[in-house]
Amino acid sequence: MNNMTTKQSILLIGTSLVTAILAHAFFLYQWTQGVYMAGPDDGLSQMVPFRDMLYDQFTIGNFFYSYEFGLGGGTFSQLAYYYGINIFFYLTVAVVFLLESLSIIRETDILFWTEATVFISIVRMTLILLVTTYVFRYLNGRILPSFIGAVLYGASGMYFRHVTYWEFFGDAFLWLPLLILGVEKIIREQKPGWLIAATAISFFDNFYFAYINGIFTGMYIAARWIFPLIDKETPKLKQLKYYTGSVLLGLGIGSVGLIPAVWGFLQNIRPPFDQEIPLVSSTSNILYDSPHLIVPALFVLMLGLLPLYKKPQFKLFTALSLLIIVLHFIPWAASFFNGLSAPQHRYEYLASFTIGGAVAAALPALEKITRRQFTLAGTGLAAIYVLFHLVDLSLEFINLWTLSIPVTAALVLLSVFWFIKKRTLYVLLGLTLLSQLVIINHYQYDKLYVHGGVKETTKDYMLSKNYLAEEQQKLIDDALETDASPLPRVSWKADGRYNTPIVQGFAGTSAYSSILNGHVLDYYYHDLEIDMKRESVSRYSGFGDRASLHSLWGANYIMYEKGKEANIPYGFKLAEESENYVVYQNTNPLPFVQISDQIYSEEALEDSHPISREQAMIQGLVVKDATTSAEQIPEYENLIDQSEIEPIGGSYSNGRLVISEKEGGLDITLPQSVLDSGAEDIYVSFYLFNNVEEASLFAMRVNDFWTSRKSRESFYKTNVNDITIRVPKEETISILVPEGDYTLNELVIYAKDYEALEQATKREPHQPEVTLDGNKVTLTDLQADTKGYLAIPVPYEKGWQVKVDGEKRDIEQINYAMLGTAIQPGDETVEFTYLPPYFKTTLLAAGLSLLIAVFWIRRKHT
């Protein structure tokens, strides 16, 4: 390692490991108490379930598709942001699988992955310290100062914040130093290999952090042109040629992961961020209590030591550090680094890296500092801390966290003074390391455990009814035990967690992920207007208690907590029960394979109401870009003009609803003809908009159907305000909202029976055999006797291909979001196969790029 002896390398590895362990001391202690290093929200709802699910898939050779992820989804695209193509997770899977195979560790499950987080983080941090020490030593030649700089980077607050809440974010710390090393190798040695490798890893591993790290790498290159570090550097024009070739080859090699990931991101549906972003914001106090960036006192002291600026490395990293520190106070920068979306400070680990680089460069030069220079800088340090305290009116020294910062700053002053007096570098390095370990462990306690909710992530909670409840899982297993359908789905969420199906191990109807299938989201938001009982982006859930949609997707089971059964879909009857829960089963299930020659085009239904589209999917199939062959488009009579509308708790005029009481809205009395009819359900549609911009999240209900709507200021609002609610038929339909000012118009009332659904359950007496095997769905013994289309309840997305009797056919988008194809009389076997989008093309590009890279690298070494 950079001309280090074997003894030095072993010592560095051991020291890095011990330092990583000590940096995690607080969480290691909590682990012994049954409290785990995982955020109670995204940590338990996404990070742990995704790792558990993907580990199970990867270890059986299924790398591309999961039927457990919501209604089903490609892991290379929809989970690329998380672990679908995560290199460090791949390595973790390999190690864990080996240990499990040798019976060194117990069988993996959700609880295992939660418990293992702290140990995986220790390994990752050890690697970060090793790699960063190597990079800093390559720049300044001193191993101990380089190690201290690496600790300030790797054992920073942002690292622990990232790993605790969004575990895979920590990988960005590992790849950033490699990119900088690649740049330096070109500048100093004209060797492109490191940059090609680092670029390929970054592009493959995570497109989001490739974007952040890529921006910083460009900033670093620009800074290096301003601050040359050695006498003979590669000419700038030649550098550009190397950078261009290296990035293009890295892009080609990494395209296997990058292209599906970017495609998944682009097809995802999330409204653009439309809130005003202030030019400047104090956000948080970077010397005392920022959750994103705590600037070390040693670096603040070094800013006042003028002789240090004679060292080029210090000037370079200090300039970059000050730039990023300034950007901390500019929300537009946080938006820019977040892809021009909502301001997020996830990029500020970059400052930890540059500060670490500055300290690593400056520590050896402290030998030339005089007492007078130190006294002036120390006075400046004290003044800066006093100033940051005085301007922050919210800061009080009422806990150990805020008190520990100035105490540590004082210790830094004393240690540097001792160093100047005694010239004992080891004492200074030791106290610097110790102070960072103390601060970072207290950060874990104050920012993450106490105020960040991690104290709620306990073994007791995970085994409770809110997460991994044994009673719930047993009841679901009992309900599914005799179900012979290929993919029986259950609607159930524990404690509102959308990924409960992954946690508890059943095929469900909900998902929570930053990237989801855009066709499925369109299905929920626009095509069918399914209310998910909670407005929020990045998730979908259930089918709004609508019986036809449950039948279409094979979601034939719904679990409720006893006493909370409400708005049960038509045709669902009690099937199983335990002490605290009940399972209702659909008495009108539809076959897994739907075949029909009654075809509706999406265009023909464009102006139809969502329940007309729903009815069309029951009577036949809705096919994108097809020709309508069905005789009549389903239509329903709008009953609003026959109904009586009365405002309650406020006033209603010209579409404006003003509620003056705690709760109010509209009472809609249905005509007697509807009450006497055979209709089972009422569908109410309307446009609802909260006119008060600063109003908070609010609850809305239609009879017994409860849902919630986001604040207009929320990052997670959908901007979908056309709402359709299904309720059982009653004389009065009440739309109720809290006190406030609303726009409520475009009211539509429909009555619906289920005669067509009950007939459809008997329409296909013969069903082919269905096999679900990883990324394949195989239908055999089809016995097709008509020309039409076939659909299965698996989401349509780019990457699926189909063969019928061995002959390739076109994939069709059916029923807005389902997978299907055209069929002919006599067709017997249909095989759907999924590969990530553009997989074969990118695999070829990666192979060619790798060959060119190897040739180029070998040529440079000859």
pLDDT digits (tens, 9 = 90+) for 44-85: 999 999 999 999 999 999 999 999 999 999 999 999 999 999
Which spans in 607-646 are helix H? 610-619
Alpha-carbon distance 352 to 345, whole Å? 13
Name the amino acid, one letter, at 646. Answer: E
Alpha-carbon distance 476 to 495, whole Å? 16
Nearest to 623 by CA among 757, 796, 829: 796
| SS (HEC) of 283-348 | CCCCCCCCCCCCCCHHHHHHHCCHHHHHCHHHHHHHHHHHHHHHHHCCHHHHHHHCCCCCCCCHHH
The pair of three-digit structure tokens given for residue 164, joined into one six-digit string: 């605790």
Looking up tokens 């159930």 gives: 492
DSSP state of 191: -
Burial pattern 303-323, b for ≥16 Cβ within 10 A else e, equals bbbeebeebbbbbbbbebbee
CA atoms within 13 A on the CB side of 427: 14
Q: What is the CA radius of gyration of the chain?
A: 31
Cβ-contact 653, 846 below 8 angstroms: no
SS3 276: coil
Q: According to the model, what pLDDT value does residue 832 have?
A: 98
Alpha-carbon distance 561 to 807, whole Å? 49
Q: According to the model, what pLDDT value does residue 764 have?
A: 65
For the chain, residues with pLDDT lower than 50 are 862
Burial of 681 (0-12, 13-18, 19+ CB in 10 A): buried
> What are the two backbone dihedrals, phi and then psi, of residue 112, each rounded to the nearest 5 degrees?
-60, -50
| SS (HEC) of 109-158 | CHHHHHHHHHHHHHHHHHHHHHHHHHHHHHHHCCHHHHHHHHHHHHCCHH
Q: According to the model, what pLDDT value does residue 796 have?
A: 98
Q: According to the model, what pLDDT value does residue 111 have?
A: 96
The pair of three-digit structure tokens given for residue 569, joined into one six-digit string: 């879909």
pTM of the predicted model over 0.75: yes
SS3 383: helix
Which residue(s) pair with 741 in the sheet? 658
Cα three-residue angle 852-857-859, rounded to 5 degrees: 95
The pair of three-digit structure tokens given for residue 814, joined into one six-digit string: 């059916």
The pair of three-digit structure tokens given for residue 753, joined into one six-digit string: 């029976």
Q: According to the model, what pLDDT value does residue 2 have?
A: 55
Q: According to the model, what pLDDT value does residue 545 have?
A: 97
SS3 527: helix
Cα three-residue angle 125-151-388, rounded to 5 degrees: 120
Q: According to the model, what pLDDT value does residue 3 have?
A: 66
Nearest to 255 by CA among 833, 837, 775: 837
Nearest to 706 by CA among 485, 533, 516: 533
Contacts of 737 (CB under 8 A, 6+ apart): 657, 659, 663, 664, 665, 688, 698, 699, 700
Q: According to the model, what pLDDT value does residue 352 have?
A: 97
Neighbours of 372 (CB within 10 A): 8
Neighbours of 695 (CB within 10 A): 17
Cα three-residue angle 667-668-673, rounded to 5 degrees: 145
The pair of three-digit structure tokens given for residue 796, joined into one six-digit string: 């349509």
- What is the DSSP code string of 480-512? HTT--SSS--EE--STT-TTHHHHHTS--SEEE
Nearest to 357 by CA among 185, 134, 174, 187: 134
Cβ-contact 47, 167 below 8 angstroms: yes
The sign of the CA dihedral 701, 702, 707, 712 is: negative
The sign of the CA dihedral 403, 406, 408, 411 is: negative
| Cα dihedral: 836, 839, 842, 843 (round 10) | 130
Nearest to 750 by CA among 646, 668, 687, 633: 668
> What are the two backbone dihedrals, phi and then psi, of residue 842, each rounded to the nearest 5 degrees?
-70, -30
Cβ-contact 853, 861 below 8 angstroms: no
- Residue length, the chain? 862
Q: According to the model, what pLDDT value does residue 382 have?
A: 83
